[in-house]
Amino acid sequence: MTYTWDFAPVVANWDLLAEGLLNTLKVTGTALSCGLALGLVLALMRLSRHRLTSWPAGFVIEVFRTTPPLVQLFWFFFALPLLVGIEMTPFMAAAVTFSIQSAAFFAEVFRAGIQSVERGQWDGARAIGMTYAQAMQRIVLPQAVKRMIPAFMERAIELMKTTTLVATISYADLLFAANEISQKTFRPLETYTVVALVYFVLIFLASLLARQLELRLARSGESTVR
């Protein structure tokens, strides 16, 4: 079977693709920044000695790590609005789901990083009179965060790939733009190929950056945690 490839219809719709790409980056950025902040809170709660704080954090982390992200997204988009009586836009559902989901993964990265800091650092900080919060903030976290950078980058890349799921609840991300264009132009082969390549270039560059950073950190003598 011979098929003549024709990319002209896809190129003609480049504005849709650009808008989709922008929306993909918007969801990724929102979920990443909220996920990092929430992840740190969850990690600190889980490390706490009080059951009342460590147990709920552990529950959230386990639930969001062990259920499929698509099921979470559907729950937040179709079930939650009825439960609390608010209007949920696809963007809000996606932002909330992926923020909590990546927070659960980031929490484990934070926890591993904090635990990897030598006991003596704590003792030293306490010996010169720092409180737990001061020691954590000034001594432990700065060292831990440096070791966590590669694991963070990896999670951020995973997050960008996961955001494609928002296309299933009709948020106009890059993949959704592909669905639209292929239906409009009857050129699914070219459209999906182009979109796959756009994702590849974007994520591959991010991976290269992560690898470069990891090499530099390894050279400066920092072991990495996963």
Which residues of this protein are in contact with other proteins, per CB under 8 A?
1, 3, 62-63, 65-72, 74-75, 78-79, 82-83, 85, 160-162, 164-165, 167-168, 175, 178-179, 182, 188-189, 191-193, 195-196, 199-200, 203-204, 207
Between 30 and 191, whose beta carbon lies closer to other proteins? 191
State in angstroms the smallest separation of the CB of 136 from other proteins: 25
Pick 71 or 127: Cβ nearer other proteins: 71
For residue 68, the minimal CB distance to other proteins (Å) is 4
CA distances from 39 to 5, 60, 83, 129, 225 (A): 46, 11, 25, 28, 16
Least Å from the CB of residue 157 to other proteins: 8
**56 contacts: CB under 8 Å, gap ≥ 6:** 45
To other proteins, the closest distance from the beta carbon of 103 in angstroms equals: 17
The nearest distance, CB 141 to other proteins, in angstroms, is: 25
Which of residues 114 and 175 has its CB atom nearest to other proteins in the complex? 175
Q: 130 vs 214, which CB is nearer to other proteins? A: 214
By beta-carbon proximity to other proteins, the closer residue of 18 and 196 is 196
Of 206, 176, 158, 186, residue with least CA distance to 17: 176
Closest approach of other proteins to the CB of residue 123, in Å: 25
- Smallest gap, in angstroms, from Cβ of residue 182 to other proteins? 6
Q: For other proteins, which is the closer residue by CB, 136 or 160?
A: 160
Burial 161-191 (b: 16+ CB within 10 A, else e): ebbbbbbebebbbbbbbbbbbbeebebeebb
Of 68 and 221, CB closest to other proteins: 68
